[in-house]
Structure 1
Amino acid sequence: MAIGERILMGPGPANVYPEVTAALGRPVLGHLDPEFLSLLEETCDRLRAVFRTSNRLTFPVSGTGSAGMEAALVNTVSSGDVVVVGVNGLFGERMCEIAGRLGAQVVKVEAPWGEPLDPAAVLSAHPAPSVIALVHAETSTGV
């Protein structure tokens, strides 16, 4: 299959830098290769710095944004927890579904799709939520 060059202008997938394309042509490192383990440890160290944690179980997740969202909620929400979720698009709705499947009491703070959420409404939605969950870039609506 011969695919010509494309310019991708959506929220994802995105065009890949030529350096990344070249790297994809190199031999694959096994998950126990010393070079891979060194790179993984460096990546984990940097993630711990970004998230200001010393937790040794901090590691990257290879998956879609929804996989990352589910991983975050599964690791922070317990059955019966109150979870305030900002909803102004598809991915906010998805967070509600995930939190609900985990047994959380979901409190939705809604804005019309494509409109920003009111921070005061989020903060006043519940006096003591266990988690406040917001989508940083709601690609379904461009907010």
Structure 2
Amino acid sequence: MIAAFLLLLQAAAPPIAQVQVVPTIPAPPPATVPASAPVSGPVSGPLPPQDWSTLPPLRIRRQATTLANTSAYVHGEVMAGRCAKAVRTVQGWSLSLDLAVLMTRDGRVRRITPRAIDCPTVEQYAAGVILGARDSIDVVDTDTDTWYRTSLTFAWGA
């Protein structure tokens, strides 16, 4: 029975000589970017100046009313070993971080740039704290977008 089935398949199948094999053309290698080419990323707005001391201070109303728990996250990052920039104080520990904030002339936050302290999670967290306080920021009347400077200090007990 199997032999009859195989004979039937051979009769119905085209001869192998009639099957044409088309060689594949290899894909071209991906284009390489020279090492000196600038890398563009999701940057929105200009960069802050190099010297932040010349920037006007950012005025935030009701600074003390920000989340009472803001230092808990930073404390957790330090305890987990992801940030070694905290310093010992008489009251416990603290970590300070400078930020440059670009404000539009109508008082909206356009960009927040934390000064790098080798603690990226804390840097981004601090930027989020400032963004959360955006409704309490007072800006000087200007005709253009303006950079301001501010500093956050996170503190917790020993």
Query: Shorter chain as normaliser: what TM range?
Result: under 0.3
As a proportion of its length, which structure holds more helix? 1
TM-score by length of 2: 0.21
Higher radius of gyration, 1 or 2: 2
As a proportion of its length, which structure holds more strand? 2
TM-score by length of 1: 0.22
